[in-house]
Amino acid sequence: MKETILERLRQGGHVSGEDLGRTIGISRTAIWKYIKELRHAGYQIDSSPNKGYLLVSAPDNPFPEEIKAGLNTRVLGKTVVFHKEVASTQDVAKSLAAQGADEGTVVVAETQSGGRGRIGRAWSSPSGGIYFSIILRPNIRPTEALRLPLIAGIAVAQAIAFLTELKPKLKWPNDIIINGRKAGGILTEMSAEVDRLDWVIIGIGLNVNTPPESFPSDIEDIATSLMKAEGEYIPRVKLLQHILRELESLLDIFHESGFEPLRTQWKELSNTIGETVKVISGSEEIIGHAIDIDSDGALILQKNDGTKERIIAGDVYIRKASNG
């Protein structure tokens, strides 16, 4: 109901409670109740006795109505589930996926109390960031799924570059790096049978307008936010919408033309290829020159003895302070 009222108000100009009520089929009093709720949620709506209601501004919160307004995607974000606070959007998305939620469903939260990062780490999720999980049901084999978070990384980097002056880089497998510091990360989880993927959840966390003082002390020297790097507030809803649009069109390319064109794009955005890196993978530590990613998205290292190592999971440390 609120969505329909907002849709009408977004067309601009004043609209009377009576007209709104008639279009939607509810009473003026009910409209007034919804307007009050919208104001409470941060919408600035003027009302004048003769002219009716006027939408002056909308809040920059990742509310479903805001994300869906003007999104124009085919699949991603057709359903958006919002939580003001949740343990982890991954867990909500997983349970929705298990119950059969549509491909493209997005679960987004204002804050997470138990945000999860890769390799069992915590993901600090204070207010001001963007935290969301996307349900995908791609028709690919489980072994091909390593490519999906790399594709999501490209979408995030391109969306940031489109909306800001920043030049985001990708650290393998999919850290979003700005000015040598981590501004975002991607966690991919899936449910699969041996030869068939059931669902994949791509979880994206971005420090957007996150106040630097809210970073936990163990990451304050290596983390940044887009606002800190850009020097101004970044509209979160616009950014999230743009990520969804970019991701949808990159996934179309993936399904039509395979990973190769995206591999090239990823390498262009990478801060890892061409660098000497240390990779910690389980209990193993490997040092080598990052020379490529292969057609699966695995990182190819050339070690000092000339042999090559193929890495499919791990933490990469670039051995040059300036690159993160």
Q: Given the rule CB under 6 A, which residues bind ligand BTN?
A: 88-90, 112, 115-118, 121, 123, 131-133, 175, 185-187, 203-205
CB of 123: closest distance to ligand BTN in angstroms? 4
Q: DSSP letters of 68-130?
A: HTT---SSTTSSEEEEEEES-HHHHHHHHHHTTPPTT-EEEEEEESS-B-GGG-B----BTBE
CB of 186: closest distance to ligand BTN in angstroms? 6
143, two tokens? 């072994």
CB of 105: closest distance to ligand BTN in angstroms? 14
Selection from 198, 194, 157, 147 nearest residue 178 by Cα: 157
Work out whether strand 169-171 and strand 175-178 pair parallel, antiparallel, or are unpaired: antiparallel
Nearer to ligand BTN, 118 or 242 (CB): 118
155, two tokens? 């979408």
CB of 189: closest distance to ligand BTN in angstroms? 9
Nearer to ligand BTN, 4 or 179 (CB): 179
Nearer to ligand BTN, 52 or 149 (CB): 149
Nearer to ligand BTN, 52 or 104 (CB): 104
Amino acid present at 12:
G
Residue nearest to ligand BTN (CB): 185
**Residue 301: in which H helix or E strand, if any?**
strand 299-302
CB of 216: closest distance to ligand BTN in angstroms? 13
CB of 208: closest distance to ligand BTN in angstroms? 12
Nearer to ligand BTN, 17 or 153 (CB): 153
What angle do helix axes 260-269 and 147-163 make, rounded to 10 degrees?
50
Nearer to ligand BTN, 30 or 219 (CB): 219
Burial of 317 (0-12, 13-18, 19+ CB in 10 A): middle
Strand intervals (E) in 150-195: 169-171, 175-178, 181-193
